[in-house]
Amino acid sequence: SKYAGHAKEIVSHLEKCDLVISVGGDGTFNEVVTGNMQRKERLLVANIPIGTTNDVGTMFGYGKSFENNLKLLMEGSKRNIDICTVNGRPFVYVAGLGKFINIAYDTPRYLKKKYGYFAYLYEGIKDFFKPIKSYKVNYEVNGIKKTGYFSFILISNANRIAGLNMFYKDVKLDDNKFEVLLCNFSTRRAIIRTLRLLIDNDPNKISGLEFYKTSNVKFEFEHHPKKAWCIDGEKLDRAAKVYEFSTVNDFEIMMPNKNGE
């Protein structure tokens, strides 16, 4: 691809073929999936990771060797997985808003290429010392309406996020549900405590967190968020006060027979 959004354009206009392979990072695969969703007749797609973090590729069962990954793919099988959407815009594995979330799209590309994952860590340390912003949100999940103040919102269909394996337990890629994590921490000490507890504990049992499994959630912000949502590591360019998340559960991809689910 030659520019942002190019992979989406290529796939959306391709003639029918047997298999489309995305070779790149999580953001590239997001474009391929988005382009495929725009087609009347979808194509079979696959992802071989060569990006910086490669959460999706690792979750699908790939390693670091390109040749071995290609072999795993060709010996793999077709599978229907859930694709999440935000206001109709597809994403493969994660969408987020709030503290630390903007690091994925704010980290300069030249730093990613030069330092890889350490570039994210560097930007994360800088962001840690910045003020924490909380958003007043009216939200509806599983038919229940609530109101709260949150500094961190995460919507995901993944067991690996930001390079962390087993972020949640018992994640299924094809159960027509995604995971919702809402966090109201307001101090740096609370951030450190929450991250430490998340490593070994159920999110439902950690004070300051709300955790849900659902197929639809709706957020209405009191004011437009100053920072953009991040979807699959890229910036969501559609600003709004209302964001609705749902799933599409008949998206077919090719992946290794053994994956990280």
pTM of the model: 0.84
How far is it, in rounded angstroms, from Cα 184 to Cα 177?
Answer: 23
- 31 class by beta-carbon count within 10 Å (0-12 exposed, 13-18 middle, 19+ buried): buried
Residue 190 CA from chain centroid, whole number:
24
Residue 7: both structure tokens together:
């992979």
User: Residue 127's pLDDT is what?
Assistant: 73
pLDDT at 126: 74
More confidently predicted of 106 and 95: 95
- For all residues of the chain together, what is the average pLDDT? 86
